[in-house]
């Protein structure tokens, strides 16, 4: 496909529905995990202009920062710590409408007000998380949960440690 992303300006659902086929085309035939994570992060940033969007990958007993778009971020997060480490420990998507109300939230950026974290699950194991942060409260809802879970399922992980 051409490298220019088609940006939709309609409802959030329409934006995801325009983006997902473009992501499928970008990922098709490319097996390199870092390249694919980088393009997914870039496409989501371009479409939604969130403060921060990116991946952390499980390495041993920590999440380690992977491809992302946005301000510099914390590099390592322990299992059960912050929103990302809790999503890993509980193997489920976490919607955080107000980060100040999430006990243990890790503030990589003081500008972050709300957040969603989606675990990447392969063969029953969490292998990483997708994290999105917004400068506004209440940015993420069930529509984001639904489509971001669909997007992370487009990613192919090599066997073994990603």
Question: What are residue 59's phi and psi, to 5 degrees?
Answer: -135, 105
CA distances from 159 to 54, 102, 127, 162 (A): 21, 34, 11, 7
Task: Name residue, tokens 């998507």.
Answer: 93
- The distance of closest approach from Cβ of residue 11 to ligand SME in the complex, given in angstroms and rounded to an integer, is 26
**Closest residue to ligand SME using C-beta atoms:** 82
Question: Which residue has tokens 């490319």?
Answer: 30
Quick one: which of 64, 106, 121, 154 contacts ligand SME (CB under 6 A)? 106
Q: Is 74 in the site for ligand SME (CB under 6 A)?
A: yes
Task: Convert residues 117-136 into a mask of x (bound to ligand SME by CB under 6 A) and - (unbound).
Answer: --------------x-x---
Could you tell me which of 126, 134, 124, 12 has the C-alpha nearest to residue 79? 126
Q: Is 112 in the site for ligand SME (CB under 6 A)?
A: yes
| DSSP structural state of residue 67 | E
Q: Binders of ligand SME among 32-71, rule CB under 6 A?
A: 52
Residue selected from 57, 58, 83, 151 as contacting ligand SME according to rule CB under 6 A = 83
Under the criterion CB under 6 A, does residue 115 sit at the interface with ligand SME? yes
Find the part of the chain contacting ligand SME (CB under 6 A) among 12-20, 30-38, 105-113, 143-151.
105-113
What residues have CB less than 8 Å from 34, skipping those under 6 apart?
66, 67
């Amino acid at each position: 496909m051409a490298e220019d992303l088609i940006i939709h300006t309609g409802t959030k659902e329409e934006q995801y529905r325009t983006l997902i086929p473009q992501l499928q085309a970008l990922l098709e035939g490319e097996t390199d995990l870092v390249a694919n994570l980088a393009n997914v992060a870039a496409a989501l940033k371009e479409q939604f202009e969130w403060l921060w969007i990116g991946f952390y990958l499980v390495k041993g007993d920590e999440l380690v920062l992977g491809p992302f778009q946005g301000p510099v971020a914390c590099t390592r997060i322990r299992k059960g710590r912050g929103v990302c480490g809790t999503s890993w420990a509980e193997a489920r998507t976490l919607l955080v409408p107000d980060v100040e109300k999430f006990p243990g939230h890790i503030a990589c950026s003081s500008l972050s007000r709300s957040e969603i974290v989606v675990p990447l699950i392969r063969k029953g194991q969490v292998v990483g998380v997708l994290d999105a942060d917004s400068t506004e409260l209440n940015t993420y809802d069930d529509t984001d949960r639904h489509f971001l879970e669909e997007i992370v399922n487009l990613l192919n992980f090599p066997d073994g440690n990603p």
